[in-house]
Amino acid sequence: MMSSSDCPHRSSSATKRVCLHLLASKGLDYHQRFTGSGLEYDLLCPQCKGIEGEIESILRHVCLTCFEEVECEGCWDGIIGRPEIRNRNSNLRFEYESIELPELAARNVVAIQPIHDVPNEWAALTLEGEILRLDVVQRRVVAGPRLPEGIIDLGNKLLLLTTRKGDFIAVAERHGQNCVVLDAITGQTKLLLYRDDYHNEHSDFPVAFVEVEGSTLLIHGAAWNRLDISDVGTQKLLTERDPTSCKSGEKPPEHYLDYFHCGLLVSPDQNFVADNGWVWAPYGVVASWSVKDWLHDNVWESEDGASKKYLCRRAYFWQGSMCWIDDRHLAVWGYGEDDEWMVPAVCIFDVASGKQVRWFPGPEGTLACDEYLFSWNEGGTSVQGFKASTTSPAVWGDALARIAIIAVELTIYGNSEAYHDSRRGVCAV
């Protein structure tokens, strides 16, 4: 059935609504006005955005092509209202378990991370620089190596990472300059890493393990706008190339990248890496590219390679939560283009194409995907009935009847939490 529109294309199979001023001039700034019905929204110019009682009288129906032209030719300037969050009852329930680990009584844990290939086991870091291995089912704590003295500022906020098998550990100063990689069994120092200090107070130390062709590699920051890959076993730098920075007044080098690298996240198949960084204004910009192309085809792939994609751009907002939902799709928290207008939501991106494939409102806080999409913050935990293989969200799936949330009560300097995908549980200390 054809519907009537107010744009030059009088008959259209589908229409959306814009205010009368945007119909007359498509280059104006606009606000998205969510109607409260699903993801449906209208577009309003600055003159119309404050109208409430007579809003219907100033709206005009346009075809989808004209609607897209208004969005492309104008500038997004904010959000009015909220999209509909659809909920339904299910037999899902949460079981909370408080676990006492007496061996931790005299220790001050500052960070935890799951050992993904070993169910129920976690790595922990203490304020004194000791690495521990926790088994929360057997109630066992195994002391491991200590960080070498004088390398890491233990008073800084710290990042702790492990390989999937738990054989290597990395500890970095979150907003500092130093990172160390240890053999988790012998305590041998494998890598000592350093980045420059240009605005690192606004940038998490970029570091991530990646497994490629049987070798354990580490992606790590070397400068504010440069990442490298090193082989943990051989300590060899694998991405040697010319400098990527320049001094004020100098001509930028050929592959100059005006981008601050931040938190890194490697895809499950180890082929892609996502970067939660930012550019000047500032704008948060989530980027992604192929690790294999970077290693084998183009040493400049992380700067301007063919697989490099910029997925989203948000003013004054970066280092928000994100997670991989499969080998190709990345879930990024937040809908909107400015920190003052962010809607609690998840946007799904295809990193191969760089395109957003869908989004849905509702999730808040930290994200993790283990067949279903979990989100949690101080207000509680929610689960999206979300099949990663099809990336088709629907709230509150019935198939998952029980989830264990493990809370370990420890003396803690700050808060730390992580999700163990082989345990289906969150460990919060």
Q: Is residue 200 part of a domain?
A: yes
Q: Which helix or strand (DSSP H or E) is residue 296 part of?
A: helix 291-296
Q: Are residues 120 and 253 in the same domain?
A: yes
pLDDT at 390: 42
Q: Are residues 188 and 244 in the same domain?
A: yes
Last residue of a domain, one of 80, 107, 129: 80
* Cβ atoms 290, 300 nearer than 8 A: no
Report the 10 Å Cβ neighbour count for 343.
16
pLDDT at 3: 60
Residues 205-253 pLDDT 10s? 999 999 999 999 999 999 999 999 999 999 999 999 998 888 888 899 9
Which residue has tokens 């700034």? 29
Q: Is the pLDDT of residue 176 over 70?
A: yes
Q: Are residues 119 and 151 in the same domain?
A: yes
Look at strands 380-387 and 30-34 and give their pairing.
unpaired
Q: Is residue 402 part of a domain?
A: yes
Question: Which domain does 37 fall in, by range?
Answer: 3-80
Lookup: tokens for 87: 């909920």
CA–CA dist 148, 226 (Å, integer):
26
Q: Is residue 87 part of a domain?
A: no
Question: Which CATH number do you get for residue 407?
Answer: 2.130.10.10
The tally of domains found in the chain comes to 2
The span from the first CA to the last CA of the chain, in angstroms, equals: 57
Q: Are residues 46 and 113 in the same domain?
A: no
pLDDT at 414: 43
Last residue of a domain, one of 80, 113, 138: 80
* Cβ atoms 388, 81 nearer than 8 A: no
CA–CA dist 427, 407 (Å, integer):
5
CA–CA dist 429, 407 (Å, integer):
7
pLDDT at 404: 45
Q: Are residues 306 and 410 in the same domain?
A: yes
Look at strands 366-370 and 372-377 and give their pairing.
antiparallel
Residues 106-135 pLDDT 10s? 889 999 999 999 988 999 999 999 999 999
Mean of pLDDT over the chain: 88
* Cβ atoms 211, 239 nearer than 8 A: no
Q: Are residues 54 and 119 in the same domain?
A: no
Q: Is the pLDDT of residue 416 over 60?
A: no
Q: Is the pLDDT of residue 175 over 80?
A: yes
Residues 354-383 pLDDT 10s? 999 999 999 999 999 887 888 988 888 888
CA–CA dist 233, 99 (Å, integer):
36
CA–CA dist 262, 207 (Å, integer):
8
**Mean pLDDT on 278-295:** 98
Q: Is the pLDDT of residue 261 over 60?
A: yes
Q: Is residue 43 part of a domain?
A: yes
Residues 47-75 pLDDT 10s? 999 887 789 999 999 999 999 999 999 99
* Cβ atoms 406, 120 nearer than 8 A: no
Q: Are residues 300 and 368 in the same domain?
A: yes
Q: Are residues 64 and 137 in the same domain?
A: no
Lookup: tokens for 362: 């509702």
Q: Are residues 188 and 60 in the same domain?
A: no
Could you say which DSSP state residue 251 is in?
A: P
Residues 306-360 pLDDT 10s? 999 999 999 999 999 999 999 999 999 999 999 999 999 999 999 999 999 999 9
Lookup: tokens for 236: 């060899």
CA–CA dist 285, 264 (Å, integer):
13
Strands (E), 293-335: 309-315, 322-324, 329-335
Last residue of a domain, one of 45, 80, 115: 80
Q: Is the pLDDT of residue 405 over 70?
A: no
Q: Are residues 226 and 361 in the same domain?
A: yes
% of the chain beyond a pLDDT of 90: 72
Concatenating the DSSP letter of every residue in 249-301 gives TSPPPTT----B---EEE-TTSSEEEEEEEETTTEEEEEEEEHHHHHHT-TTH
Q: Is residue 314 part of a domain?
A: yes
Express the helix, strand and coil content of the chain in percent, nearest 5 each. Answer: 10, 45, 45
Q: Are residues 231 and 331 in the same domain?
A: yes
Q: Are residues 171 and 73 in the same domain?
A: no
**Vertex 375: Cα angle to 167 and 314 (nearest 5):** 95
pLDDT at 403: 45
**Vertex 177: Cα angle to 175 and 183 (nearest 5):** 105
pLDDT at 406: 46
CA distances from 228 to 153, 158, 317 (A): 23, 20, 25
* Cβ atoms 411, 107 nearer than 8 A: yes
Backbone φ and ψ for 178, nearest 5 degrees, come out as -115, 150
pLDDT at 4: 72
Q: Is residue 226 part of a domain?
A: yes
Q: Is residue 306 part of a domain?
A: yes
* Cβ atoms 422, 118 nearer than 8 A: yes
Helices (H), 25-86: 64-73
Number of H-type helices and E-type strands within the chain: 4, 34
Q: Is residue 325 part of a domain?
A: yes
